[in-house]
Amino acid sequence: MPERSNRKALIVQTAAQLFEQYGYQTTSTRQIAAAVGCTEAALYYHFKDGKRGLLHAVMSARIPTVQAVLEQCRQATSLKKALLVFGRGFSEHTPGIRWLMAELPHLDKQERAAVLDTFSSIRQGLVDVVGRFVPDERQAQHIAWLMVCLGAGYQQLFSESAFQGQVDLSMQDLMVTFVGLMN
């Protein structure tokens, strides 16, 4: 039985690497199985929904990392510190999900819903963090969305595009600038 759970974990890890490298849409279950060294039947044994099931598993495997960043934000003693912790944590721990941002418009309705549900839970975690320092619920939601947009936009522009290496701006620097504007 341990071999099966190890294989399942290996399939998820390999799928995550291939999705990140080649994109979700262009990665096939056949490629994943070949990279793992198993048959497609073995992959479907572990993931009845095939690639869609793998998408869910990959997101679930990445969520604890994002939750750890949110937990660090919850320990902050001010909104500025929480934003800086988020900026550092986002840049260090979330590159493995940036492919998901690029793929979102191309996912089918069910896949998109799953991704949006995941991001909604992350955003709600940010709202909870910000809400400790900003009593206005609506403003806390707006700041949380701004944080998500800054993080996602940064990853999209500076990690995957022609801007990579052209602009001297880290995610941490971006958050420091954002925090500075809040004075």
**Which domains are delineated in the chain?**
51-181 (1.10.357.10)
Question: Given pLDDT bands bounded at 50, 70 and 90, which one contains residue 53?
Answer: very high
What is the Cα–Cα distance from 112 to 75, expressed in whole angstroms?
Answer: 32
Average pLDDT, stretch 26-51?
A: 95
Residue 11 C-alpha from the chain's centroid: 19
Burial readout 36-73 (b: 16 or more C-beta within 10 A, e: otherwise): bebeeebbeebbeeebbbbbbbbbeebeeebeebbebb
Q: What is the pLDDT of residues 123-162, one digit of tens each?
A: 899 999 999 999 899 999 998 888 878 877 777 777 666 6
What is the Cα–Cα distance from 156 to 159, expressed in whole angstroms?
Answer: 6
In this structure, what DSSP letter does residue 167 have? S
Predicted local distance difference test score (pLDDT) of residue 104: 82
What is the Cα–Cα distance from 102 to 183, expressed in whole angstroms?
Answer: 33
CA dist 110 → 36, 56, 57, 107, 113 (Å): 26, 11, 15, 8, 5
Average pLDDT, stretch 42-49?
A: 94
Average pLDDT, stretch 22-49?
A: 94
pLDDT exceeds cutoff 60 at 16 = yes
pLDDT exceeds cutoff 50 at 19 = yes
Instruction: Tell which wins on pLDDT, 2 or 78.
Output: 78
Contact of 52 with 133, CB cutoff 8 Å: no
